[in-house]
Chains A and B, each alone.
Chain A
């Protein structure tokens, strides 16, 4: 049974046991515009909550993607190199960025759940 959590910076983490799949939300990709390049962290990289984990390039600018929780990268999405637009087409599915092991599950409590994130983005419009 997987659980979705969201950061205020529009990253999501889909948690399954002690691992998570990280990406950016559909709301975020729609604001970003066409994604042309994604720089992913290498497997084995240690991530710290709130620190830069990846970089996403749209036509006009580069944006940082932050680690939603601390842990270690286990895998980057191999499909993003050849098809960065996957992030636009399917942000929650095939446009995932990387998988990670979660070092401290308590950190997930600080993140928003589905309903909280939905209100959060409503408040931004």
Chain B
């Protein structure tokens, strides 16, 4: 067998620079985590039960993910909503206190520098407070980029002494409300400030799995005990990055650096829903003219779900061909989906091939695999809706 898959996870280059560790590194090792490099960090790709078991467990109970490698920052000062609107295409001026939104940092071609979550923490009359979460691989660049646009009186506090834990799954609310009952009925895509040992904790009802769940920002010094308490709840198991990827793929969620990058616009990536009507009309963000044209005429390529026939997974980089053998696209993410119980993928296809039901061929190890273009998600979402 290819030796890399068995003997070592590190290439010679990666072994040269030391990997960073989150505050839960020792806990991951204690739990039998198989550690691999990810965005410069040594992270658990799985634990002994394996990716399939972890994935299914999260879908049925509650999975605990260490996402402390991601970047967290708080902006304080005036005019922050206006500033953010000048660099992201989302409606931030209309984002009410305690509400959060998904958006993207754009370059002048409308390409995506990173995707991020923006939360309005609520401020005073003179001063706003916003909380940002960005991807680990881009965090230094993102925060430097954002800093360039901030007004003189706006402070950016990089929260590099805080951990970030995600608890995702149908039992997440039951578990978290044992500690903080007030979180049980908080709305999806909102945030609440709570405390642990008199220290500030930010709980956001959001996630990356298509299910109900919470992301918790807490001081690093509290993270291990909190994680241990969660793992002590019978509904909770630790979940690695492998299952995090299969869960988000089933949910039809993009992974930066794979499905979206500096060469893809939000319209090509099917993220139109994250740009409000007002912003589509008014523009005022980088690449707005390009994006407006794509909204009007349709983009030249579109990110769609791709469902291969048979059982063989088709992965990132595989070519998509039409029935005449012409290349019309590329797979950007793909793998075996434990809940779907078969292979799924997403990729860009040229205009004209994006209609769900379109038959295409995927090239796998020199052979053609028949596939269909499909809408995503592959697994229906189960976000929290309050009972009326």
Contact = CB atoms under 8 A, between A and B. Distances in A.
Interface of A: 8-11, 24, 27-28, 31-34, 36-37, 39, 55-66, 81, 84, 124
Given A37-B336, A59-B338, A9 B51 contact: no
B380 to A, nearest CB: 21
Contacts of B335: 59-60
Given A60-B335, A63-B1, 6 more contacts: A9-B2, A10-B6, A59-B51, A59-B338, A60-B45, A62-B315
Contacts of A24: 1
Q: Which 8 A-B pairs have the closest CB atoms?
A: A36-B336, A63-B5, A34-B52, A59-B51, A31-B6, A63-B2, A64-B2, A63-B1
Interface string B296-323: 0000000000000001110100000000
Contact of A32 (B6, B246, B338, B343): B6
A60 to B, nearest CB: 5
Nearest to B52: A34
B299 to A, nearest CB: 30
B148 interface: no
Contacts of A81: 311
Contacts, number: 74
Contacts of A124: 7
A34 B240 CA distance: 14
A62 to B, nearest CB: 7
Contacts of B3: 8-9
B50 interface: yes
Contacts of B338: 59
B204 interface: no
Contacts of A11: 1
Nearest to A36: B336
Contacts of A62: 313, 315
A64 B1 contact: yes
A70 to B, nearest CB: 18
Contacts of B7: 31, 124
A31 B46 CA distance: 11
Contact of B242 (A9, A36, A59, A64): A59
Contacts of A39: 312, 365
A28 B312 contact: no
A36 B313 contact: yes
B165 to A, nearest CB: 23
Q: Which of B1, B3, B5, B45 has the largest count of A CB atoms less than 10 A from its CB?
A: B1
B1 A37 contact: no
Interface residues of B, number: 25
Interface of B: 1-3, 5-7, 45-46, 50-53, 55, 242, 245-246, 311-313, 315, 335-336, 338, 343, 365
A39 B388 CA distance: 51
A81 B245 CA distance: 25
A65 B336 contact: no
Contacts of A60: 45, 51, 242, 245, 335
B315 A36 contact: no
A8 B315 CA distance: 27
B41 to A, nearest CB: 17
Contacts of B245: 60
19 contacts: A11-B1, A24-B1, A27-B6, A31-B6, A32-B5, A34-B51, A34-B53, A36-B336, A37-B313, A39-B365, A56-B1, A59-B55, A59-B335, A63-B1, A63-B2, A63-B6, A64-B1, A65-B1, A66-B1
Contacts of A84: 311
B7 to A, nearest CB: 6
Contacts of B45: 60
A32 B55 CA distance: 16
A10 B312 contact: no
Contacts of B343: 36-37
Contacts of B46: 33
A27 B365 CA distance: 26
B249 to A, nearest CB: 11
A37 B2 contact: no
Given A28-B6, A34-B51, A36-B311, A57 B1 contact: no
Nearest to B45: A60
A80 to B, nearest CB: 10
Q: Which of A11, A28, A59 has the largest count of B CB atoms less than 10 A from its CB?
A: A59
B52 A59 contact: yes
